Amino acid sequence: MREELSGVLNLDKPVGMTSHDAVAAMRRLTGQRGVGHAGTLDPLASGVVVMLLGRATALSAYAMASEKTYAAEVCFGVETSTEDAEGAITAEAPVPTLSTDDIAERLQTLTGDVLQQPPRFSAIKTAGKRAYARARRGETVELPPRPVRIVEISPLGWRPPRLRLLVRTGPGVYIRALARDIGRLLDSAAYLHALVRLSSGQFRLTGATRLEGLTREELCRRMLPPDCVVESLPAIVLPASDERRARHGGAVHVRTSADQLEELTVRLYGESGRFIGLGRLQGNTCRPARVLEPLP
């Protein structure tokens, strides 16, 4: 039986493949069930999807919380049921005649901490079912607005009816919904025509791995260690006497430069430099929270 792979892969998802399809392909390639991803991309979108394998799946929440950057193309004149090119037309409006500078100025009102209403065709659960499943059956789906952060929206090119944008966001932002809102903001209607995720956290499209032709051996060479997704957290190295206790989930005493009154999440390593997992530090006590490699 092959050893389970544990690590992180920066994948370049192609157009036409769902994020779930990418997970299924990775499971076939590795022969293991322990595969997940950090941040869904729709089939019409391409670009960076962070894949988590084996014990690294325990760190998915940290990978998903990272900032993301997109190149998006918005088409004006119509809204669609899915808010992208696959949906039926639900509304029409004149294409804006604004200049690029005017558009850039108006777009600033959509940045910052804002409330965004998710698309009806999304994976959010409502009444115990996925919103897209209810919407496909013709049911009325009303999803409440959610707080999100949009860091930047900058025009890259404006050739009516198409507007190309650079978008930087926090987690949980639907670019389809942003396209819809941009259309309405500019007294028009719009849908997302194309989307490429350029980055997710420290992972960039320029260094991403294509799935086509990927072998298990190449995957092993390109895979990064699990702790790469939490490298922004402070690190503590435990002596050998405490490492075994921590790997079994026991609290350990550590020395810190100052009293830590509020609980702080930290990375834990053994003396050899091997990653143990995450701990919760308060004062001089560290309690392991997610142990990725317990000792036998």
Single out the catalytic residue among 12, 42, 181, 242.
42
Q: Tell me, yes or no, if 181 is annotated catalytic.
A: no
Where b means 16+ CB within 10 Å and e means fewer, 80-107 reads bbbbbeebeeebebebbebeeeebeebb
With tokens 């390593």, the residue in question is 269
Query: Residues 196, 156: contact at Cβ < 8 Å?
Result: no
Query: Residues 273, 256: contact at Cβ < 8 Å?
Result: no
Q: What size, in residues, is the chain?
A: 296
Residues that are catalytic: 42
